[in-house]
């Protein structure tokens, strides 16, 4: 079965320090992976995606993610966290059944708390 896991409910980091939000996946075939951010009482905003090519994907607001096929991971990273990065982050993978529907399977979400 296809699935996405975000093993940490919450990540705490000090402003200026690097941050990592973890995501692992289980899919058949090549994975299409996405990261979204959600601020309180708002919709999700797209950050970045991995389809093919370079394992390091750069996205919006200085975020990047590293695709690791052997570890089936797609961790979100940022070199220097800002207080304004505090939000709920979702990892998602394309659902291949049925194909070409654009359906996504979402992880449970990770709350990022950046403290001044």
Residues near other proteins, by CB under 8 A: 9, 32, 34, 36, 41-46, 49, 51, 90, 94, 96, 99-104, 106-109
CA distance 24 to 95: 15
Chain center to CA of 36: 6
Q: Please, how many CA atoms are within 13 Å of residue 30, restricted to the half-sphere of its CB?
A: 5
Pick between residue 49 and residue 77 the one whose CB is nearest to other proteins. 49
Pick between residue 41 and residue 116 the one whose CB is nearest to other proteins. 41
Pick between residue 8 and residue 15 the one whose CB is nearest to other proteins. 8
Phi, psi of 93 (to 5 degrees): -130, 145
> Minimal distance in Å, beta carbon 100 to other proteins?
5
CA distance 35 to 63: 10
Pick between residue 48 and residue 114 the one whose CB is nearest to other proteins. 48
Phi, psi of 58 (to 5 degrees): -100, 145
């Amino acid at each position: 079965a296809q699935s996405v896991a975000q093993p940490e409910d919450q990540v705490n980091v000090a402003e200026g320090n690097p941050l990592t939000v973890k995501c692992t996946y289980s899919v058949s075939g090549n994975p299409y992976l996405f990261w979204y951010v959600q601020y309180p009482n708002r919709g999700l905003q797209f950050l970045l995606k991995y389809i093919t090519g370079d394992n390091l994907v750069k996205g919006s607001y200085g975020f990047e993610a590293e695709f690791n096929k052997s570890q089936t991971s797609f961790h979100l990273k940022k070199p220097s966290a800002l207080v304004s990065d505090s939000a709920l982050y979702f990892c998602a993978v394309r659902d291949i059944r049925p194909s070409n529907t654009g359906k996504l399977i979402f992880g449970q979400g990770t709350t990022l708390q950046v403290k001044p």
